[in-house]
Structure 1
Amino acid sequence: MIHDWNGTRVFWLVSVSMLLTTTSSFAQQSNVQPSTGAGQSLPPVAVSAPERRAAPARRQPSSNAVRARRQADRPASAPAASAPGTVGAQRAALPVPYVGGQVARGGQLGLLGNKDYMDTPYSLASYTEKTIRDQQATSVAEVLTNSDPSVRAAIGSSNRYDALTIRGFRVENSEIALNGLYGLVPAYRVNPAPIERIELLKGPGAFLNGMAPQGSIGGSVNVVTKRAYEDLTRLTVGYMSNARFGTEVDVARRYGDQKEWGVRFNGGFNGGDTTIDRQSVRDGVGSLGVDYRGERFRWSADVIYQDDWMKAAARGYTPVKGIAVPNAPDPRINLAQPFDYARARSLTGLTRAEYDLSNNVTMFGAIGANQFGYDKREAPGATILTTSGDALSTSRFQTGKSEAVSGEAGVRARFDTGPVGHEVVVSGSVLNRTDWLGQTNYGNYLTNIYTPTLLAGPGTPVSSFAEGKSDFLGLRSVGVADTLSMMNGMLQVTVGARQQQVIANGFDPASGLETAHYDQSATSPSVALLVRPIKEVSFYASYIEGLSPGPTPPAGAANTNAVFAPFKTRQYEVGTKLDLGRFGASLAAFQISLPSGVVDPVTKIYSLDGEQRNRGVELNTFGEVAPGIRVLGGVTYLDARLTKTEGQLHDGNHAVGAPGWQSNLGIEWDAPFLPGLTATARTIYTSRAYVSTDNIQSVPAWMTFDLGARYATSLAGRPTTFRGSVTNLFDNRYWIGNPTGYVISGMPRTLWLSMSVDF
C-alpha cells in the first residue's frame, strides 16, 4: 500500500504548478531558439591558474574524434556568468572540474560555501556527473565505493537500500543531503540520474552542515542537482546482466537575452532480472530543475520523483556469538522468498534563492519537503547458527511513510580589518520529520546460506499492529563562522560554532500514545588553520565536532528514565594538499573519538563512559599522471579501537566493521592508435574486518578487479559514446563486514553496457 499524504498536498500542487507554468512561460517568451547541441564546442569555463598551464605535446587525434569526445564529456551543468565578483556568486558557482573531469576542484562546505580543495582545511572530494556516467552507476553508494578508499558500501546493491561506511563509521542513505539540506532524499537509495555532483566530506560535520538525522560520524555526503548550462538533448540506453535494461533522457535549455533562465529535465527507467537468483527490479526517476541567474538575484527549484520496486531483495546475515563466520556463499544464491518484495516512492520539492545586497553581502535561503512511502515483505536478515551455514530466518511485512520539511536561511559578508580579510556567515537551519509504521510478524523457519529453504507463503501471523505514527525528529540550529585571510591568502584561519537543538519523540503506533520524549541541545565548535606557502601546496590542521542524539538507557539499567544531551564526536586532522595543474593529491591523518553508552557492572547505571577511537591516514590522488593516462583512487589505513568498554572487557579490541586497510585504484588510458577510445581498469581492496566486539569473528580480506572501455565517436553526425565494463571480473566470493555486525555477500561478476547519443 502506498499512502496518500493529505498533510502537504497543497504544497506539492503549488510547487509543481509553479515549475510547469514557469517552464512554459520561459519557452513562450524567449526569442532564442534552442539548438540541438550537436557539433558545438565546449563553452569557455573559468579555470584556476594551475589549470592554464600548457599540456605536454602528444599525438593529436582527428577533429571528428575530438569533437565527439568533447560532446560526450562536456559539463551540461556549470556556473553561469553572473556578477562573478560578488561573494554570493562565488558561493553559488559550481566548482569547475579538475583535469580529466572525474573530480571537481572543490565543493560545498555548508556554512563556508563552495571552496577550492586547496583552500579547504578538511578532507573534501567532489565526484562529477561525468564520473557517474562513465561508471554507469545506479546509485550514489556505487560511485563512492568505486572512487574513494575511505568509503565502502555497508549494504550490497542486491539489497533494497544503501548504507555507507566512512572512516569506519556507518552512514545511512537517509542522511545524504540534497543541495545542502538533510531529510530530502529517499530513505532507501538515491538514483543518480538527476545528480551533477556527489560531494564527500570526511569526518563529523555538525558545525558545517548542522546535525544529520542520525549523526553521520564518519563523514557526510551532499548531492547537487543538475542545472542547465548549455543546450543538451542526450539519450542513453543500457544493459546490465543478467537481463536488466534501461533508458535515460537528459534535456537542458537556457533562455533569455542573457541566457539567465535555465531548465533541466531528467527521466530514467530500468528494469529486469539481476544477477541474483529470483531477483528482479523496476526503478524509475524523473526530475525537473529550473534556475535563474541575474546580476544580483539567483533562484533555483527542483522537483524529483523516484519509484523503486524490487522482488526478493537479498539481505545480509548476523552470525551467532562464538562461531567462526562460514565461507562466503556464491553471491547469486538468494535466501529471499519468492513472495518477498519491496516498493518505495519518494517525492521531493526544493527551492533556493540568493540576493546580493552589495558586492560583499549576500542573503540566502532554501526550503524543501520530502514524502517517502514504502511497503515490503522480506526476511529482516537471517541469523547464522553453524559454520556449515545453517541459519534461522523469519518473514515480516511492513508499511510506512515519512514526511519531512527542511530549510535554512542566513547572511554572508566579506570585509577587511586592516591587513586581515574576513568572510563571515550566520545561518540557521530547521528539519522536521515524522515517521509512520505498521508491521506484521510471521514465524521462524530454518534455512541454509548455501541451500536456501523456499516457502509457499509466509504462514500465519504471530503478531501485528496497524500503521500509526512512530517517531518525530526536530533539529534546530544556528551557526556562525569567520574565515580570516592574511598575506594574500597564504594564511587562513577558520573559527566558528553551531548551537544545535534536538527534539525526538517516540510513539506507540498502535495506540498513538507518546512513549518517549527528548529535547536537548549542545554546541559544536570548530577551528582550522591553512597555510599555502606556494600555490601548488597547502598545509592544514583542523578540529571539528559532530553531534548525535543522546542514547536511551537499555532495559535493566538503574536509570532507564535518564535523558542525555546530544553526544559529541571529536575529530583532529592534519594534512597537506598538492596541485600540479594536471595532477592533484591529498594526504591526511586523523583521529575520531566517539562516545558510547555502557552499563556499570556493579551499579547498573548507564552512562556515556564508553569510547571508540578511530585513527587513520588517507592518501588520495586524481588527475593526469602522463599524457592520456589518468588516475583516481588512493589508500586508507585505519586503526579503529574500542578504548573504553563495559568492565574493560574488550578494551583495545578492533572496532566492528572497520578494516585496517582499504585501497582503490582506477586508471584511464586514451589509446593513441584509435582516437576516441579509452580503456579503463579498477581494483578495490579491503582487508580483514571484525564483526564482533570480542574479535572472535571476522571476515577475510577481499579484492575485486573491473575492466572496461568507452569509445567516443560520431554516428550520423551525432556525438555518440559507447561504454562497457565488467565488475568483479574474476567472480570472487567475499563477505562485506558491517559496523553493526552484519555480513553481506559481495556482488557477482556483472556486465554493464550503454550507449549515449547527443542530438
Structure 2
Amino acid sequence: MLGIALAASGACSQAFAQTPAGTATQAVARRYDIPAGPLSSTLSRLADQADILLGVPGDLTAGKTSPGVHGSYSIDRAFQAILGGTGLEAVRQGDGSYSLRPAPAAGAQGVLPAVTVIGKRIGDSVAAPYAGGQVAQGATVGLLGNRDYMDTPFSLTSYTEKLIRDEQSTSVAELLTTTDPSVRAAIDSGNRYDAITIRGLRVENSEIALNGLFGLVPAYRVSPDPLERIEILKGPGALLNGMLPHGSVGGSVNVVTKRADDMPLTRLTTEYLSNSVFGGHADIGRRFGRSGEFGIRINAARREGHTPIDDQSRRNSALSVGLDYRGERLRLSGDVVYQDDYMRGAARGYTPIAGITVPEAPDPRINLAQSFAYASSHSLTALGRAEYDLTSGVTLFGAVGMNRFGYDKLEDPGATITDVQGNATSSSKYQEGRSHALSAEAGARARFKTGPIDHRLVVGGNYLQQTTWFGQTVYGSYQTNIYTPTRLSGPGAPLSHLPESKDSAQILRSIAIADTLSAAGGLVQLTLGVRHQQVASSNYAASGAETAHYDQGATTPSVALVIRPLDQLSFYANYIEALTPGSLPPADAANPNQVFAPFKSKQYEVGTKLDLGRFGATLGLFQIDVPSGIVDPATRIYSLNGLQRNRGVELSGFGELGRGVRVLGGVSWLDARLRRTQGGINDGNHAVGAPSLQANLGAEWDMPFIPGFTLAGRVIYTGKAYMSQDNTQHVPSWTRCDLGGRLTTRVVGRDVTLRASVTNLFNKDYWQANPTGYLISGMPRTFWLSMSTDL
C-alpha cells in the first residue's frame, strides 16, 4: 500500500512543479500518516491532518477504497496519492476549501456541489505496514494514542500480521524472542506458559494488554491467531499505561485484534510442527453496508499432537470474533476471544544450589516432567471500544472488557540441581485456580492551537479489578538427573492439601493528562504528562480471613521530546517512570509494619530514528534505575534503598535494503549492575539473568530465478549471563541459527503460500538464565510446515 501511495505521488510530482507561488498552503509540506481504507475515511483523516475543509458528495466515494498516504507531502500531492486509482480529483475553491469531482477527460470542466466533511483519525485502526511488510509505520503509544514511529519519543516496535504468518509463530512471546534483540525468553519454550525479559528485566505474560486494556489475556500463553499487530514498548511506561498488574518495569506489550479489511477474505491454513503436531486455522473477514461501514472478522484455530520434547504433547484451540463499525463521527468495535490449552509433560526449569558450577546444558529434548504431569487452562475475554467525535477537534473514547481464566495442573514445579553431574531434587504439586478481571478506560483527546503551537491534549482514566482463587496439594520429593530423568508411576502420597479459596484481590485505578506541543510544522514536539496511580490489594487465608492489605498511591510525571530537522531523521529523549507495589518489610526488621507507597523505577533515554522510505532504523541509549528492598545491617530498618541500574545501547533496523531483500533485527548492549546491595557485599556485580550482548539478525531474499520463492534466515546470539548476585555462577553465551523459505503461487486460480522452516538448525544445547536465577533449556531443533490458501 505504501508503494502505491509513493508511486502515485511520484508520478504527479512533475505536474505540480508549476504550482503558483501564491498558493502557499498548497506548497507547504506536512507529514501524513493515513492508512489504507474506505475512501471516505481516508479523506476525512486527510482533512483533519491538513486542517482543511473538504466537500465530498456522498455518492461519489461509496464503495471506493484508497491506499492511504505516509510521508511528507504538499496537500496537492497528498490528494494525488490518496485518490490514485479512484477516478477522482480534488479541486481547490476560492475560499481555500476543496471539493471532489470525477477526473475529467482532457479539457473537461465542472465542479460538483460540496458537502463539508471534517476529517478525524480513527483511533482503533492500525498503522500501515512499512516497506517489507514486517513492521508497521506506527503503533499505539498508550495514553497518547496512535503515533508514527518517527514522532514517538520512545523505543517502540509494531510487528505485523504478515510477520506472524511468515514466522509461523504459535505464541506472542515466541515471536518477540525470535525477532527482537532486546527480548529473551524467561520461561522454557516447552513450558505451559510464557514470560519474557525486556532490557534485562522480567515481564510476565499476564501483563500483555489487549487493544490497550490490561488484565484480559490468558495468564499462561497468548495465541497470535486473532492478532493484527504485536506492539512492544521498551522501558517503563507508567504515564502511558499506568501500573502494570504485577508492576513490571522492563517494558510492556500490546496486542491488537484483527479487523475486517475492505476486500473479502477467506484464508485456510494447514500446519505441521515436529514431531507430530497437526493443526488448522481459518481466517474470514467481510464488510457490509453501503460504504462498508460494518465489519466482521472470525478466526478459528486448533493444533494437537506430540512436540519435539520427550513425552510431551499439547492441544490448543482458539476462537475469536471481531466486530466493528466505521462511521464519520462514531467508531465502535467489539471482540470475543476464547482460548483453551492442554499440555501433557510441560517442561520446567532448574535452580542450581549455591556454590556449584552450573552443569553443561542437557539435550533440550530431555524432559524431567513425569508422564502423569499435565496442565489445562481456558480463557474467555469480551471487550468493546467506542470513539465519538464531539467536535472537529475533540474526540471522546472509552473501552471496557472482562476476562475469566481457569486452570488445573499436576506438575513438577522445577528441579533443584545439587551437583555438577546434574543430580537434582524435584517434587510434584497439584494446583487449581481461577481469576476474574474487569478492565476499563475512558477519556478525551483534543487538537487545538495557541498561537504558533499545536496541541494534542489527552485526559484519561484507567481501572483494573482482579480477583484470584487458588488451591494446592503438595506431594513428596524425589531424586532425578537432568541427563537421565527418573520416571515415576504417580505423584505418591500427598503431604498437604489446601482447598481452592479466594487468594487475592487487587484494584488499580489512575487518572492521567498529557499534552504534546509541536511547533514549526512538527520540527519540535514536546510531551508533558502526569499520572496519579492508586493501588489497593488484599491477600486471604483459606478460611477467608484477610491476611494482608495494601492501599497506597503515587504520582508519576514524564517528559519527552522529539526534534525532526529532516523528514527522514528525528532525535528523541524521554524521562519516564514505572510503578511497582511497595513491598512489605520482613518480620525480623525493625519496622515490620511500615507500609510503603508504590516505588518508582526511573528511565532516562535518548536516541535517533531514521526513515529512508524503504529502510528504517533506531539507535537508543537508556538507563533504568530499579529500587529494591534491603535491611540495614546496623539498624535493621527495612527501606527501598537497594538499586539495580541497567544501562544499555540498542540498535535496530527494518525494511528493504534492495529489491527483494528485507532485513529485521538489531543488537542490544546491556550493562546491568547491582548497587546499594544488602551490606554492600554485591555492589558492582552483574545483575542476574541480564546478558551484556544480545543480537537478532534476520534477512529475507526473493530469489529472482525461482518466481515467488523467498529464502529466510536468522542468527540469534546471547552473551554470558550470571545466575547469582555474587556472580559465582554463570551460563555461557550461545548462538542459534534458523532457516526457512516460502513459495507464493496460484493454484486453480487461488493464491497459495507454502512455508517451511527449521528452528535451531544445528540442534545446539544451551542454557538460558532469567532474572530470578532460574535455568531454562533452549528450544530443540524443530521443523515447521504450513500451507495457506485464499479462497
TM-score, normalised via structure 1 length: 0.89
Which residues in structure 2 correspond to 1:79-228 (within 5 Å)?
89-228=121-260
Which residue matches 1:709? 741
How big is the shift at 1:85? 8.5
Question: For each residue in 1:222-249, what CA deviation from the matched residue of structure 2 results, as whole angstroms up to 9, or x when unmatched?
Answer: 0000000121000000101000111000
How big is the shift at 1:627? 1.2
- On the 8 A contact 1:366/1:409 being kept in 2, the answer is yes
Which residue matches 1:231? 264
1:84 and 1:278 map into 2 onto residues whose CA distance is 66
Find the residue that maps to 1:47 and give its secondary structure: strand
Which residue matches 1:407? 440
Letter in 2 for 1:477: S
Alignment match of 1:566 (pick from 598, 604, 612): 598
2:786 and 2:331 map into 1 onto residues whose CA distance is 36
2:461 and 2:412 map into 1 onto residues whose CA distance is 41
How big is the shift at 1:42? 9.8
Asked whether 1:264 is paired with 2:297, we answer yes
Find the residue that maps to 2:177 and give its secondary structure: helix
Which residues in structure 2 correspond to 1:607-622 (within 5 Å)?
607-622=639-654
CA separation of 1:425 and 1:198: change in aligned 2, threshold 3 A: same
Letter in 2 for 1:195: L
- On the 8 A contact 1:90/1:114 being kept in 2, the answer is no
How big is the shift at 1:604? 1.9
Find the residue that maps to 1:331 and give its secondary structure: coil
CA separation of 1:528 and 1:334: change in aligned 2, threshold 3 A: same
2:586 and 2:721 map into 1 onto residues whose CA distance is 27
Find the residue that maps to 2:163 and give its secondary structure: helix
1:100 and 1:680 map into 2 onto residues whose CA distance is 13
Find the residue that maps to 1:358 and give its secondary structure: coil
1:459 and 1:41 map into 2 onto residues whose CA distance is 68
Which residue matches 1:499? 532
Which residue matches 1:743? 775
How big is the shift at 1:94? 1.3
- On the 8 A contact 1:87/1:414 being kept in 2, the answer is no
Letter in 1 for 2:388: Y
Which residue matches 1:623? 655
2:631 and 2:497 map into 1 onto residues whose CA distance is 32
Letter in 2 for 1:572: Y
Which residue matches 2:401? 368
1:217 and 1:655 map into 2 onto residues whose CA distance is 15
1:246 and 1:95 map into 2 onto residues whose CA distance is 30
Which residue matches 1:337? 370
CA separation of 1:472 and 1:661: change in aligned 2, threshold 3 A: same
Which residue matches 2:43? none
- On the 8 A contact 1:656/1:741 being kept in 2, the answer is yes
Find the residue that maps to 1:394 and give its secondary structure: strand
Which residue matches 1:520? 552
Find the residue that maps to 1:564 and give its secondary structure: coil
How big is the shift at 1:529? 1.1
Question: How large is the RMSD of aligned CA atoms in angstroms?
Answer: 1.7
Which residue matches 2:459? 426
Letter in 2 for 1:512: G
Show structure 1 runs of 5+ residues with no match.
Answer: 1-39, 55-82
CA separation of 1:41 and 1:308: change in aligned 2, threshold 3 A: farther
Alignment match of 2:588 (pick from 551, 556, 560): 556
Letter in 2 for 1:758: D
1:213 and 1:87 map into 2 onto residues whose CA distance is 36
- On the 8 A contact 1:87/1:413 being kept in 2, the answer is no
Letter in 1 for 2:298: F
Letter in 1 for 2:625: S
Letter in 2 for 1:48: G
- On the 8 A contact 2:122/2:331 being kept in 1, the answer is no
1:465 and 1:47 map into 2 onto residues whose CA distance is 58
Question: For each residue in 1:350-382, what CA deviation from the matched residue of structure 2 results, as whole angstroms up to 9, or x when unmatched?
Answer: 000000011100000000000000000001111
CA separation of 1:90 and 1:264: change in aligned 2, threshold 3 A: closer
CA separation of 1:323 and 1:416: change in aligned 2, threshold 3 A: same
Letter in 2 for 1:463: S
1:456 and 1:749 map into 2 onto residues whose CA distance is 29
1:202 and 1:519 map into 2 onto residues whose CA distance is 28
CA separation of 1:169 and 1:562: change in aligned 2, threshold 3 A: same
Which residue matches 2:288? 255
Find the residue that maps to 1:444 and give its secondary structure: strand
Alignment match of 1:453 (pick from 486, 493, 507): 486
2:423 and 2:124 map into 1 onto residues whose CA distance is 55
1:748 and 1:402 map into 2 onto residues whose CA distance is 33
Question: For each residue in 1:560-593, what CA deviation from the matched residue of structure 2 results, as whole angstroms up to 9, or x when unmatched?
Answer: 2221100001000000000000000000000000
- On the 8 A contact 1:659/1:687 being kept in 2, the answer is yes
Letter in 2 for 1:332: R
2:408 and 2:591 map into 1 onto residues whose CA distance is 36
How big is the shift at 1:91? 2.9
Letter in 2 for 1:162: D
1:716 and 1:304 map into 2 onto residues whose CA distance is 34
2:357 and 2:639 map into 1 onto residues whose CA distance is 32
Q: In terms of Rg, which structure is larger?
A: 2
Which residue matches 2:388? 355
Asked whether 1:593 is paired with 2:625, we answer yes
Question: For each residue in 1:584-642, what CA deviation from the matched residue of structure 2 results, as whole angstroms up to 9, or x when unmatched?
Answer: 00000000000000111122221101000000000000001111101000000000000
Letter in 1 for 2:781: R
- On the 8 A contact 1:88/1:355 being kept in 2, the answer is no
CA separation of 1:494 and 1:241: change in aligned 2, threshold 3 A: same
- On the 8 A contact 1:85/1:359 being kept in 2, the answer is no
CA separation of 1:515 and 1:590: change in aligned 2, threshold 3 A: same
How big is the shift at 1:252? 0.1
Which residue matches 1:541? 573
Alignment match of 1:396 (pick from 429, 432, 441): 429
How big is the shift at 1:93? 3.0
1:429 and 1:404 map into 2 onto residues whose CA distance is 13
Letter in 2 for 1:707: L
- On the 8 A contact 1:46/1:96 being kept in 2, the answer is no
Find the residue that maps to 1:111 and give its secondary structure: helix
How big is the shift at 1:90? 4.7
Find the residue that maps to 1:396 and give its secondary structure: strand
Question: For each residue in 1:532-553, what CA deviation from the matched residue of structure 2 results, as whole angstroms up to 9, or x when unmatched?
Answer: 0010000011100110111122
How big is the shift at 1:643? 1.0
Which residue matches 1:48? 71
CA separation of 1:88 and 1:157: change in aligned 2, threshold 3 A: farther
Which residue matches 1:726? 758
1:644 and 1:418 map into 2 onto residues whose CA distance is 49
Letter in 2 for 1:369: M
- On the 8 A contact 2:507/2:537 being kept in 1, the answer is yes
CA separation of 1:738 and 1:488: change in aligned 2, threshold 3 A: same
- On the 8 A contact 1:88/1:354 being kept in 2, the answer is no
Show structure 2 runs of 5+ residues with no match.
Answer: 1-62, 78-114
CA separation of 1:135 and 1:86: change in aligned 2, threshold 3 A: farther
Question: For each residue in 1:179-215, what CA deviation from the matched residue of structure 2 results, as whole angstroms up to 9, or x when unmatched?
Answer: 0010000000000000110000000001101111012
Alignment match of 1:482 (pick from 489, 511, 515): 515
1:166 and 1:435 map into 2 onto residues whose CA distance is 26
Which residue matches 1:8? none
Asked whether 1:441 is paired with 2:474, we answer yes
How big is the shift at 1:559? 2.1
CA separation of 1:84 and 1:326: change in aligned 2, threshold 3 A: farther
Letter in 1 for 2:751: P
Alignment match of 1:752 (pick from 776, 784, 787): 784
Alignment match of 1:325 (pick from 337, 341, 358): 358
Question: For each residue in 1:453-473, what CA deviation from the matched residue of structure 2 results, as whole angstroms up to 9, or x when unmatched?
Answer: 111110111111100000011
